[in-house]
Chains A and B, each alone.
Chain A
Amino acid sequence: MKEKETEEKTYVEDIDRSIYDFRYDEKDSYRVDEGLTEEIVRQISEEKNDPQWMRDFRLESLKIFNKTEMVDWGPDISGLDMDNIVTYVRPNTDRMHANWDEVPTDIKDTFERLGIPQAERESLAGVGAQYDSELVYHNVKDEVASQGVIYTDLESALHTEHADRIREHFMKLVPPTDHKFAALHGAVWSGGSFVYVPSGVSVEIPLQSYFRLNAPGAGQFEHTLIIVDEGAYLHFIEGCSAPKYNVANLHAGCVELFVGEGATLRYSTIENWSKNMYNLNTKRARVEKNGKVEWISGSFGSHISYLYPMSVLAGENARAEFTSVTFAGEGQNLDTGTKVLHNAPNTSSYVNTRSISKSGGISTFRSSVVVSNKAKGSKSSVSCQSLMLDDISRSDTIPAMDIRTSDADIGHEARIGRISDDVVFYLMSRGMSEEDARALIVTGFADTVGKELPLEYAVEMNNLIRLEMKGSIG
């Protein structure tokens, strides 16, 4: 009986992604052969002029990779054939720049279209931009640098006075033995950032790294190492995107965060990889006494994701907060969640996640909370809510808890729901179209994360949701 509009009804996801989905012909000056061999790892190491220990580390990691079984407990990744992945693509620029005008035009245009230089001018203390395997731009505002804050790429830092500090921390939180893709990362890592905030320094405005994968069939393996010393504060933002190709791309990055005594680190990510991406990323934070890590995570892109940022609460009274939203649309299987290890007295963790699935998308939330017998008086609260937008989508919640002390306060809550017809009707009764009403309900559902993000990222997140909701009725 109802007359419905038919324009905009067709599913046009790949066209509508135009903000992210543009590409330039690859003009890389250098790319290694497909696949993974000792020869390739040596080539990458050569290309990067690694110190000897790093070269040995890469080769050792490769051995571990070859010995380690493929993961078999999560979404199917058999579509990922390592023999077809190019692990290193150097863009056509011979070095990293601190001035956008020196960055090659096509690369600069890419970041302009993504709004990075503008964000840098308006609201960031420093920016790093990675294109395929290498950082093409890195700059930090003078006032931040003068406080002793280091924000640079890892490779060049390996040849400076920071070398020892890097060696002391590099892949100590996420060792190559952790899982197969951690080993792969150890062998072929390239790019990423090294951040050091000295004791007592509070960086008032955020630093941001943006990762862009332009080359088809390539992998991106950036390593982010952040050390926030005693009593210091930092907000670090990471963004990622890629245009869509018909071949599989792989992202196996690694993030290691060291939060010192009484320090606070906020780590925000809006991930919007294209839907041919295998996003097998490992992130981990170690938090000392009275320190705090705050994870804010938005996962929108990729074909398959395995993503479980972990907080190791190593010192008394250390705290972790984890806030995330995951949106799985057509053809996406996003397996996300978090892990917390309470390993000292009076530590606390607070986890609040939202996941949305639509058009056959699969969204799985996994959490693991371990409270060791050393963690008396600890508290943990885990809450996950899922929203399924239709009957063909799927949402699962898999919480695990391992509590080794009787003196702990642990809570878990999970809810799975659908968009309420009553709310849609209410909004429509005020003149809103059905599509807008549903989009509003979904952004409202994701608002716990939106509220935690800086305004321009919250706007970007809401735009991503609107994009996903467009034409979804019918």
Chain B
Amino acid sequence: MSPRTLVCTGCGCLCDDVQVEINGTHLGQIENACAKGAAYLQAAFNPELRAKSSIRGQGCSPEAAIHEAARFLSKAKRRLIFGLDNSTLETQALAIDLARKLGAVIDDASSFSYGPLIERILKKDLPTCSLSEVRDKADLLLYWGANPTATHPRHLSKYTYYAYAEFNPAGWYPKVTLSSIEVRQTELTTMSMPAFRIKLRGDRELISGLLGESPAASDQAKQFSELVKKSHFCAMFCGLGLVHSLGGDFSAFTRMVQLLSQSIRVAVIPMIAETNMLGFTQSLHQQTSYVNSASFASSVSHGHQFSFLEQVHNHAADCILIVGSDPFSTLPQSLLGKLQGIDIICLDHFTTLTTDTADIVIPSAVPGVECRGSVVRLDGDSIMLAEPIKNGYPTQEAILRQLLEKVQP
């Protein structure tokens, strides 16, 4: 068995120190991975969990599935391309090219999650920094509506709290303040000193308190304000709890960060769970000036009507190409009912509820394990995926390249 070092693509951490032993197509010992990453890698080497090519439920060769997918996309009138948040930059670029050629709508999950926050970071309304800048330099680590122990199990040990080299004089704690803002008790809040346990949807009130916009600011808001203002460099890790509490409206949050930035350094890092959502939004933004929900139907246009959720809700597409995403296990059932009668093509490496129900399934190589490429980590750093292990699956990049050649607009 030969040990290999991989970049784990099991979550947004993209840990680059994961060592695996490979014997042919069998996975041996895994080192440095968290339990989630290990389960992901084990699944990648379990043939039973891998997607199989099919056309309307009947097994076929990958080539036949690609050919049929090209036929579906060519005959469709209103195409939608969705997913891509766990794909490489190279795959994402081809998907955008495909959308352009087909006059399709293209979107990813950022349109209903981190999009508004990412957009403000990309437009430099909010300051950010790399995780390597955070370590040993930030003196306040603030996790806001985020629980990395559940979403990014090695975030604290590899990049933040436990990664600090300097400890307090007794040697018990890293020399940094770990704090959190949460509506519930989590593993992280029990470690945080202080932890701000706020009421449900109470984030806006806390922000108003810090901005001085609320004349009767709560004690909590005052404590929070004091904590942040006495720091020199505050790294804010924003999770979906914050995104949902603010309803996706980060205007007050941005004003707060801009106010704080007058006296201390603040860096905002979204706790994106997907491996390359930031890459997709950056790529689309560079090409269209929009981070998601773009239509290439005539010239480039953008709007809520082009978000995946609205497209499904309004039956706007007659053929959907889903790349590396599983909406059938994440979307509300009531919305999934609207997908009756629509052609669905799914590219994925794993068997999912979406591959189970798709009209065409094209199995693909696992990025980072079976194919190389580059991705953008949640802090904006570019990461090269390691030399691949050959397992015979076509890459998403190769599949999209073939589709791009075969489809007729």
Tell whether A and B belong to one assembly. no
Q: Which residues of B contact A (CB under 8 A)?
A: none
